[in-house]
Amino acid sequence: MPDGIPTTDVLSPALRVPPEILAEIFGHFNSDSFPRMDGPHSPILLGLVCRYWRDVALSTPTLWSSLLISSPTSTRRLRELLLLWLERSTNAPLSFKFKSKGKGSPDLVLLDTLLSHRCRWLHASITVPLHDFALISAGVSDSSLPLLKSLEMHPSFAPDGNETVRPLRDGSAPQLTRLVLGEKLIVSTILDGVPWAQLTHLRGHCLYIYEVHDLFSMAPRLVYCNVYMMEDRGERHSPQPGSIVMPHLRALSLRTHRYADQDWFCPVLCPTLALPALELLRIACFPFGATELEHLRNFLDRSACHLKELQLPNLSTGSVRDEARKTLGKLADTIVFGARGHHLDKI
């Protein structure tokens, strides 16, 4: 019988569960990756059931180690909750989503509080003005983020002019392998602030053709890549000549950004690019006709990959699907035409 429970002839079922099992159950209390600290899904509610549940909840650090910091609640109230969560999570690795309200916001007080625990960061999703990303590694020594595996950078505003920032310093995040680039982030603004060579998972919410090629050149260890594409515009340019080989890239998703024109597909799969390890390819753009199919076939032949699945969700009519099967020949059996979810969507 768990300690601290009064002895009675008949115990409530809630009191008969051993603490280690109850703690495991509590771990599934909220399915959100970053649950709110207040409201109906807060773990605080578990402690209101009975003293036993409260004791178990307070002695389960992982219950308090995932959180969302974004609310109409006052900054003072939110900081009180944040400090409470940080205390109750003790030394557990932290996974959080932080959303700042904008320039000059007092929310930076909250970010400073999180930064004081950066040695515990495991998964961090941060929305702040671009220049504030420099605070992540400002004034700290190497390996200041020893546990960080995943970083999501979502600038709250588009960059001004040639603004650049260095969110990470050399060696500050030795375990970082996953990076998410928000819709308003331009790759050139963080070129010197990310350990590109160690990344294996990349998601881009809005990337130009030349940015994809630059990323492939800088991140040769990528295994999974999921990108929403834009065509190059204005002074932005296609990549310089030269071979780009991605020896580890197994899954690639390229989809049209909602504001894009439709001329990005052939340029992004350029003649100098080869993906020999590719197993899954998803292409979602329209129109996608004979020219694009021929280009795709040549690209796959050149890569000499052993493709297992080719997702072409935008090919809706029977005639176009027949043309795809005919053009792609031996790869016809790998084609999936309908919309289909994949773990790439979670990258």
Q: How far is CA 317 from CA 112, 177, 230, 307, 314, in A?
A: 54, 39, 25, 23, 9
Q: In sequence order, what are the beta bridge partners of 254? A: 227, 283
Name the nearest CA neighbour of 222 among 191, 178, 172: 178
Per-range mean pLDDT, top range of 13-17, 58-62, 66-70, 201-205: 201-205
| Selected residue with higher pLDDT from 199 and 231 | 199
Chain CA centroid to CA 266, Å: 26
Tally of helices (H runs) and strands (E runs) in the chain: 9, 13
- Rounded Cα distance between 17 and 1, Å, is 9
- Confidence bin at 6 (pLDDT 50/70/90): low
Q: Give the tens place of pLDDT for each residue, 106-158.
A: 678 899 999 999 999 999 999 999 999 999 988 776 789 999 999 999 999 88
HSE (side-chain half, CA atoms, 13 Å) at 78:
21
When the pLDDT of each residue in the chain is averaged and rounded to a whole number, the result is 86
* 306 has pLDDT over 60: yes
* 294 has pLDDT over 50: yes
- pLDDT of amino acid 10: 52
| Selected residue with higher pLDDT from 238 and 189 | 189
Mean local confidence (pLDDT), 41-48: 78
- Rounded Cα distance between 323 and 318, Å, is 9
- pLDDT of amino acid 199: 98
Using a pLDDT cut of 90, give the percent of the chain over it. Answer: 55
* 308 has pLDDT over 90: yes
Give pTM, 2 decimals.
0.88
CB 263 within 8 A of CB 238: no
- pLDDT of amino acid 124: 97
- Confidence bin at 11 (pLDDT 50/70/90): low
Angle at 226 between CA 221 and CA 227, to 5 degrees: 115
Instruction: Give the containing element (helix H, strand E) for 85.
Output: helix 75-88
- Confidence bin at 9 (pLDDT 50/70/90): very low
Q: Give the tens place of pLDDT for each residue, 67-111.
A: 998 866 678 888 899 999 999 999 999 999 999 876 666 678 899
- Confidence bin at 237 (pLDDT 50/70/90): low
**52 burial type by CB count under 10 A (0-12 exposed, 13-18 middle, 19+ buried):** buried
Chain CA centroid to CA 319, Å: 37
